[in-house]
Amino acid sequence: MNFQETRWRSIIKTISWRIIAIVNSFVILVSGLAEGALLNALYMNLTGFVLYYSFERICNRLPYGKIEEKK
């Protein structure tokens, strides 16, 4: 089934993703797991990749803001 997103769905997804990304960055920086700019960047990108994939899979299951495309 193909669908189109409403503007509100896109706005809510964008805001919620940015909150998750900020928390991810904060946790990595505060935890001290990665010392140095390169390791920080690598950890943030690797964890961000996993989090974003999971976020999109969850969002695709939510019906809010979906408009079914007519064939």
Residue 68 lies in a domain: no
- Domain hosting 35: range is 8-61
Q: Are 63 and 2 in contact (CB under 8 A)?
A: no
Distance CA(46)–CA(12), nearest Å, equals 24
Residue 48 lies in a domain: yes
> What total of structural domains would you count in the chain?
1
State pLDDT tens for residues 48-67: 999 999 999 999 999 888 88
DSSP 35: -
Residues 6+ apart with CB under 8 A from 4: 66, 67, 69
Residues 6+ apart with CB under 8 A from 27: none
State pLDDT tens for residues 3-32: 889 999 999 999 999 999 999 999 988 888
pLDDT above 70 coverage of the chain, percent = 97
pLDDT class for 1, splitting at 50, 70, 90? low
Q: Are 4 and 66 in contact (CB under 8 A)?
A: yes
Residue 13 lies in a domain: yes
